[in-house]
Structure 1
Amino acid sequence: MWNSWIRKSMALQVKALQGEVEDFEGRARRNNLRFTGFPEGSEQDFENFKSFIVKYNRTYEIGSSEYNKRFSIFKESVERQKKLNSKRQHPDDAKYGVNAFSDLTPDEFAEHYLGIYQRVPASTSSGYVPSSKEVDKIPSKFSLEGKGVLTSVRDQGACGGC
């Protein structure tokens, strides 16, 4: 019950702040003002970042150095997503988009979510080399979808097991 009340209260506060920000931005545009201390970005960049902040319950104070830093990281993340999506060659290829981690640098993500586990390079010391017949049997594509062995995507937090 308290959780529900807190969520509603926070949603109302966020909505009120959004209104204030939109009013502030509108007055600035009408008066042709440019504010210093704010990061560079298109109006669409700011709209996308505001939507991100609301959707993922971020609490960056507008105009603060943390807000500016996270906005810049967010823009870089969106550009990286666009670049990766431009390399898609097939509808089944990975598709990148804004998610709960879009305001983190790759290093921050690794530090917080990949945990203590370190990747160990695969060892090739066994000396085994597959025959060409074995290699020919390997399918060019393999998917476990539709085979009843996959579950839906879940947030596993920072356990580091993946």
Structure 2
Amino acid sequence: MDSRTDDPLIQQVVTSDGRGGDLLTRAEHQFTGFKKEYGKNYTTEEEEDYRFGVFMSNLRKARRNQIEDPTATYGVTMFSDLTPSEFHSQYLGSNRHIHLPNNLTKLAPILSTDNLPTTFDWRDAGAVTDIKDQVVILSYKQS
């Protein structure tokens, strides 16, 4: 048995049907289905192997989370081949530190709010667009 499938949490995720069998083959089959469903293609065999390892790690995390919170549903998502840091950098943006001057109140005058309308709809002002890709705000937890 391949050491990548010796983890009992992976075994529980991969063999949820209880029939046993070759765990690595089942995991690879699940990974193949994941790639097909989400259109994943890797340029090298090394990248494919790496992504499979990340996928397996995320299966372990999903199983642990499912055990801790059985009221939620955890499992394979379009992000299952990404590490947490890759997910953060690709979908949550950068975390750059912005250095702002301490005297911000001197840079722009404080405007009066006395003559503001009681309501304002940004859609009428053309400032709101349609949702582009709401799926990127999803996390590993789906409920």
TM-score when normalising by structure 2: 0.50
Equivalent pair of 2:51/2:82 in contact (CA under 8 Å): yes
- What is aligned with 2:87? 109
Identify which of structures 1 and 2 has the higher relative contact order when contacts are C-alpha pairs closer than 8 Å and 6+ apart.
2
Aligned identity (percent) is 28
Q: Matched residues in 2 for 1:60 and 1:156: separation?
A: 21
Superposition map of 1:111-150 within 5 A: 111-116=89-94
User: Which sections of structure 2, spanning at least 5 residues, go unmatched?
Assistant: 6-23, 97-132, 138-143
Q: What is the Cα deviation at residue 116 of structure 1?
A: 3.1
CA spacing shift, 1:76–1:156, aligned 2, 3 Å: closer
Q: Matched residues in 2 for 1:154 and 1:112: separation?
A: 14
Q: Matched residues in 2 for 1:87 and 1:156: separation?
A: 24
Q: What is the Cα deviation at residue 75 of structure 1?
A: 0.4
Give the aligned residue type for 1:155: V
Superposition map of 1:3-152 within 5 A: 40-41=4-5, 42-60=24-42, 64-89=45-70, 91=71, 94-116=72-94
Q: What is the Cα deviation at residue 155 of structure 1?
A: 1.4
Give the aligned residue type for 1:101: F
User: Which sections of structure 1, spanning at least 5 residues, go unmatched?
Assistant: 1-38, 119-152, 158-162
Q: What is the Cα deviation at residue 95 of structure 1?
A: 2.0
SS at match of 1:155: helix
Give the aligned residue type for 2:37: K
Runs of 4+ in 1 over 6 A off after TM superposition: none
Equivalent pair of 2:58/2:81 in contact (CA under 8 Å): yes
TM-score when normalising by structure 1: 0.45
